[in-house]
Amino acid sequence: MITQIRDETGTQRLVGYVVEVGHPDGRARCWLDLDERHLNRHNVLHGGIATMLMDSASGATGSLTVDDTGLVPFMSVSLNVQFIASGKPGRVTAVGAITGGGRSLKFISAELHHEDGTLIATCSGIFKRVPQERLT
């Protein structure tokens, strides 16, 4: 069953993106309906927001390796982003994928697509589960 995580963090409330978990492929999705608040001076998706969406999808995908809710925090250790095309208004969706790693670190990639199928950006990163003692 697909579950939507909304308004979990201040960033989600500010930007307006939604995280989805529960897809059969085990990958988290992070989507956003772009409007003028998300665009840069060239009227295309701001690169920082594109990066944030892929980072969030990647972290949630890492979380799904230890918990089906996708709520166990994973933090970025490093993230490399490649911008492929401009993001125009409409829905964009980032999808994470585990590419390797072990018990403490996960290698995760993500792609960001526009609803018309255009690949906007890709990333690859290293993510680490946030230790329980840091959550209290």
Weakest-pLDDT range from 5-9, 55-59, 113-117: 5-9
What CATH number should be reported for the domain holding residue 114? 3.10.129.10
Q: State which residues form the domain around 11.
A: 3-135
Q: Would you say residue 134 has pLDDT above 80?
A: no
Q: How far is the CA of 10 from the CAs of 7, 16, 48, 121, in angstroms?
A: 7, 10, 16, 24
CB neighbours of 24 closer than 8 A, spacing ≥ 6?
none
pLDDT in tens, 28-43: 999 999 999 999 999 9
Edge-to-edge strands, sheet with 105-114: 3-5, 18-21, 29-34, 90-101, 105-114, 119-129, 74-83
**Number of folded domains in the chain?**
1
DSSP state of 69: T
pTM score of the predicted model: 0.93
